[in-house]
Amino acid sequence: QQPVQSPQAVILREGEDAVINCSSSKALYSVHWYRQKHGEAPVFLMILLKGGEQKGHEKISASFNEKKQQSSLYLTASQLSYSGTYFCGTEWDPGSARQLTFGSGTQLTVLP
């Protein structure tokens, strides 16, 4: 089943913060976050594994709430370069060796 992302779209000004959520109805093993700019392939941001801690990369960080089966991506003091569509990918079973199932994406637009 496809994870659910929210919001579907967000517009903010440079320097503002944003949160993107990814929820699953099944028990998650890991969550991947990718960003895709228009006309380009998705680019990996980070992975959060079950039992792992919150991760961060520059001013982008993420958390993984196992109880809620939810991950949140935090973009702090957003920059113009953060614009793009953010996808979360989820893995449910560490033994399945199967593919990531992706959400439908959150379109983020950062305005000057």
Partner 1 sequence: GAGVSQSPSNKVTEKGKDVELRCDPISGHTALYWYRQSLGQGLEFLIYFQGNSAPDKSGLPSDRFSAERTGGSVSTLTIQRTQQEDSAVYLCASSLGPGPGLVGYFGPGTRLTVT
Q: List contacts with partner 1 (CB under 8 A).
A: 2, 29-30, 32, 34, 40-44, 47, 49, 87, 89, 91, 93-94, 97-105
Positive or negative torsion for Cα 62, 65, 66, 69: negative
Nearest approach, Cβ of 5 to partner 1 (angstroms)? 8
Nearest approach, Cβ of 96 to partner 1 (angstroms)? 8
Distance from C-alpha of 11 to C-alpha of 42, rounded to nearest angstrom: 20
Which residue, 96 or 112, is less far from partner 1 as judged by CB?
96
Query: SS3 breakdown of the chain: % helix, strand, coil, rounded to 5?
Result: 5, 55, 45
- For tokens 């959150």, the residue is 106
Which residue, 42 or 70, is less far from partner 1 as judged by CB?
42
β-pair partners for 72: 21, 63
β-pair partners for 53: none
Nearest approach, Cβ of 80 to partner 1 (angstroms)? 22
Which residue, 13 or 96, is less far from partner 1 as judged by CB?
96
